[in-house]
Amino acid sequence: MNYKRILLFSFLALLISSSDGFGQKKKLQKADEAFEAGEYFDAIDLYKDAYAAIREKPLKTKVVFQIAECYRYTNAPAKAELWYKKAVGQDYPDPVSVLHYAESLKKNDKYEDAITEYKIYMDLVPDDPRGKEGITSCELALQWMENSIGYEVLDMKYFNSRDRDFSPAFVRDDYKAIYLTSSRDNAAGNKTHGATGQSFADIFESKLDRKGKWSVPVNLDEKINTEFEEGTPSLTGDYNTMYFTRCEVSKRKKLGCKIMVSTRTPEGWERAQALDILSDSLVVAHPAVSKDGLTLLFVSDTKGGSGLNDIWKVERSGPTSDWGEPENLGPVINTEGNELFPYLHMDGSIYFSSDRHMGMGGLDIFKATPIEGGGWNIENMRYPINSSADDFGIIFEDESERGYFSSTRKGRGNDDIFAFILPPLKFNIKGVVVDRRTEAVIPMSKVKLIGSDGITIENETGDDGSFRFLLKPNTDYIFLASKPGYLNTKGRETTKGQEKSKDFRMTLELAAIDKPIELPNIFYDFGKYDLRPESMVALDRLVEVLNDNPNITIELGSHTDIRDTEEFNFQLSQQRAQAVINYLISKDIATDRLRAKGYGESQPKIMDGKTAKLYPFLEDGNVLNEAFINALSSREEQEIAHQLNRRTEMKVLRTDYSPAK
């Protein structure tokens, strides 16, 4: 054996191993530097290159996690999901990999799978509320998608491109011109953004022509757009002052973002100047100015906030005054996460996006309404404004429920602009008037609508007994039905609290006065005549009928079953009928309109078709006398027949009653 050859081979192997290790560390160091500088798009390829050279399994798993992180930061949820799944499968030691895996599943509209991973994270880190909150957010998202609110959403393909298009702003009070942020090909900044892999964004303008077509967006001149990234414009109510964000980027350096301001002149926008607020902070961005120009909201990661990026406010006393000290909007709006893209509505509410408030996916749009006495009420805008993707940068046409917002939905990963509108709520009611006993339709009956807004409309039913009315939002309605030979009746409906257009259905039952009318749910204890509490609820309905029909007088007839003596049953039924009369008198029904009559067991019930349908052993026309009941096949059937005989009926005596003077 040649020992020199063995030593030489070992020495070469050591050199190669050392060389591999040195190269491996160098590649990984470059990737880490890009990641720390926020150049996540560049870092992806660097990490993948380093991964191929790594031999140690723990280090390879760490690189897998870092690649997943890069895809998360570059807003590529499908790829982030894939790499987080690899990291979890390779037992990455930090449980945050499970959390981010669940979040990626949620952003990819896989709510059920996300719930499973959130539960695993809860078991691993029970003290972290993000596990439980994640489960709740997925459950809410499924509910909101099942019961979406009434907004209609439209992809604005007119000015969306293959690149990022987001954060629109109105430029005129007729809403026929907008500015938008875009990284499309003809942006002034021609360098590739290390964080996104796209060109630097600029502010572009698009206009609506007379034919209703939006023009191809054109970028603003060099007084606004530069080689760096510009975007998120916000204009005052006179559209003569514009605030926007400028982010300066240098290779492997974070130079930060600042708010710029420019004033419009007859010749165009003046050269933008930096606004001197929080000059020591790395991020001051996303301005939102009030109509009067005296309040400015913005986003910053400065000290004194609640989380990663917070929404702050500065105010001034006049258009030329200096801005005051920045004020954080507080922990009700700001969370431990990111609150971004604020918008000041003219009604005093604030719209913003957050990845920490309870939402459907990544960033959701929220509405913060000021509460009397201080504080805010936070409301998720829900589906379809929000989705499993990132939704942000909303604007409104002043008081109208229409405007634009930005979203990464549809799985493309790039930002697009969507229009939204809340159509006026439409309510209809379609009903039918029927005979209470026979259920036959009643043509040519009158139906009167009375609205809480003071409107009264009267219609007549057609041959099919139907009626139809248009209803207004936020209104209570009463519907009165009448026809000679029948008691008047009424129904109620309301559109208050309705968030969606709706078609209501109603059936109004008219009771014919040529036969006794049975009063349901009048109950007594066995052998007693005292009214039970549930009977009083039913009698209140009778009070309403008498008030709706002020021209009638009635007889209240009480009937018993055939058990016990005839004398006892007559006396008991008379006492029961009088108990009903006494209750009606206590409700201010005139005594001379009422008569009590006890029939005992003398008038067994004659079955009608409607009631007979409820009992398979009975038919229309059956008389429930002693012989019929004794012939029934079971004790249960006999007891039902006895129960049907125990009833209270109303008989109309007169229809021309008028109260005594």
pLDDT of residue 248: 86
pLDDT of residue 304: 86
pLDDT of residue 189: 66
Q: What DSSP string runs through 117-129?
A: HHHHHHHH-TT-H
Nearby residues of 317 by Cβ (< 8 Å), 6 or more positions away: 294
Q: What angle is formed at CA 430 by the lines to CA 426 and CA 434, rounded to 5 degrees?
A: 165
pLDDT of residue 10: 39
CB 298 within 8 A of CB 275: no
Kindly state the greatest CA–CA separation across the chain.
138
Of 429, 425, 422, give the one whose Cα is nearest residue 450: 429
For residue 510, what are the β-bridge partners? 435
Tokens of 606: 């004659």
CA 148 to each of CA 472, 500, 576: distance values in angstroms, whole numbers, following the listed order: 21, 9, 53
Please count the CA atoms within 13 angstroms of the CA of 332 that sit on its side-chain side: 13
Per residue in 603-618, pLDDT (tens digit) is 999 998 888 999 999 9
What domains sit in the chain, N to C, each tagged with a CATH number? 23-146 (1.25.40.10), 152-421 (2.120.10.30), 427-510 (2.60.40.1120), 517-654 (3.30.1330.60)
Per residue in 442-463, pLDDT (tens digit) is 999 999 999 999 999 999 999 9
- Buried b or exposed e, range 181-217, using 16+ CB within 10 angstroms: bbbbeebbbeeebbbbbbbbbbbbbbbbeeeeebeeb
Determine how many CB atoms are found less than 10 A away from the CB of residue 96. 18
In 462-610, at which residue ranges do the beta strands (DSSP E only) sit? 466-471, 476-482, 489-494, 502-510, 517-519, 553-559, 594-600
Q: State the Cα–Cα distance between residues 104 and 116, nearest whole angstrom.
A: 13
Exposed/middle/buried for 637, CB within 10 Å: 0-12, 13-18, 19+?
A: middle
Q: State the Cα–Cα distance between residues 402 and 395, nearest whole angstrom.
A: 8
Of 63, 73, 82, 71, give the one whose Cα is nearest residue 24: 63
Phi and psi at residue 103, in whole multiples of 5°?
A: -65, -35
End-to-end CA distance of the chain: 138
Q: What DSSP string runs through 397-441?
A: -TTSSEEEEEE-GGGT-S-EEEEEE-PPP-EEEEEEEEETTT--B
For CA atoms 100, 103, 109, 112, give the dihedral sign. positive
Of 37, 63, 68, give the one whose Cα is nearest residue 50: 63
Tokens of 270: 């003046």
Tokens of 503: 């078609």
Q: State the Cα–Cα distance between residues 66 and 32, nearest whole angstrom.
A: 9
Which letter does DSSP use for residue 278 in this model? Answer: S
Q: Which residue has the tokens 């609506």?
A: 208
Phi and psi at residue 111, in whole multiples of 5°?
A: -65, -40
Which letter does DSSP use for residue 593 in this model? Answer: G
Q: State the Cα–Cα distance between residues 553 and 83, nearest whole angstrom.
A: 82
What residues in the chain have per-residue pLDDT under 70?
A: 1-24, 189-197, 250-255, 411-413, 661
Q: What DSSP string runs through 452-486?
A: TTS-EEEEE--TT-EEEEEE-TT-EEEEEEE-TTB
Which is it for strands 391-396 and 402-407: parallel, antiparallel or unpaired? antiparallel
Phi and psi at residue 133, in whole multiples of 5°?
A: -65, -35
Length of the chain: 661
Q: Which residue has the tokens 């990984």?
A: 28
Nearby residues of 35 by Cβ (< 8 Å), 6 or more positions away: 43, 47, 66, 69, 70
Tokens of 249: 């980027």
Nearby residues of 6 by Cβ (< 8 Å), 6 or more positions away: none
pLDDT of residue 1: 44
Tokens of 536: 């009083």
Tokens of 539: 């009698």
Which is it for strands 502-510 and 427-435: parallel, antiparallel or unpaired? parallel
Q: State the Cα–Cα distance between residues 242 and 231, nearest whole angstrom.
A: 11
Q: State the Cα–Cα distance between residues 491 and 580, nearest whole angstrom.
A: 24
- Buried b or exposed e, range 613-635, using 16+ CB within 10 angstroms: eeeeebeeebebbeeebeebeee
| 241 three-state secondary structure | strand
pLDDT of residue 282: 82
- Buried b or exposed e, range 589-608, using 16+ CB within 10 angstroms: beeebbebbbbbbebbbebb
